[in-house]
Amino acid sequence: MRKLKLQVQTTADGFMAGLNHEMDWMRFPWTDDLSAYVDALTTPVDTIVLGRKLAEGFIPAWASRPEHEDEASIDWMNNTPKVVVSRSLTASPWDNAVVANDLVKAVTELKSQPGGDLIAYGGSTLITGLIAEGLVDDIYLFVNPTAIGAGLPVFPVGAQPLDLVEAVGFECGITALHFVPKP
C-alpha cells in the first residue's frame, strides 16, 4: 500500500502561516544538505496531493520555471501528477492535475492503487483535514527558527500522539522532524 507523506514548513511555535496567511518567516535559500534531504524524501513519490488554494499559486509558479530553483526540482514538480482537493472546483484548469472533491475517498483510493508514495503540500484546511482523518503515514515538519505567536496551526485541535522517527538539523537553521502518527 502506498504511503502518504506530509511535508510542511512550520514555525518553531507550530504554525504553517500567519493569521493572514503570511509566510515571510520561511528561511531561504535552503542549503545543500536540506535540498539533499528533500530529494531523498521525494524520490519514491509519484503523486502530489494539493489543496485548491495552494494549487492556484503552486502549479503556475512551478510551470513558470522559477530562476532560483534547479532544473531537476522544476521538472519533478511539473511532471509529477497532481490531485487537487477542492469543494468548489469540478474540473482541473491545470495540466497534469485532476480534481477530487472528497478528501477521504480520494486519498483512500490513491493509497490503494499501485505506485510510489504520495506527498501532500497544502494550506491548513488540507493539512489539518488529512491529519484529523488519520490519512497521513509520515509527517515531515521543516521547523524554521522563527516564532510568530499566532497563525494557522499544522495540527487540528485535539491530541495527536506521534512517534519521533528522526530529527535532523541543517546548515541554514531549519530542523526536519519526522514523525509517524500513532494509531
Tell the residue number behind the cell numbers 530562476, with chain if given: 67
pLDDT tens digit at each of 183 positions of the chain: 899 999 999 999 999 999 998 999 998 888 999 999 999 999 999 999 999 988 998 899 998 999 988 898 889 999 999 999 999 998 888 889 999 999 999 999 999 999 999 999 988 899 999 999 999 999 999 999 999 999 999 998 887 899 999 999 999 999 999 999 998
For strands 45-51 and 117-121, give the pairing: parallel
pTM for this one? 0.93
Question: DSSP per residue over 20-62, as a string?
Answer: T---TT---SPPHHHHHHHHHHHTTEEEEEEEHHHHHHHHHHH
| Cβ within 8 Å of residue 12, ≥6 positions away | 143, 144, 145, 146, 147
Grid coordinates standing for 120? 501532500
The amino acid that residue 167 corresponds to is: A
pLDDT in tens, 69-106: 889 888 999 999 999 999 999 888 888 999 999 999 99
Q: Residue 152 and residue 117: Cα distance in Å, rounded?
A: 26
4-181 fold: Dihydrofolate Reductase, subunit A (3.40.430)
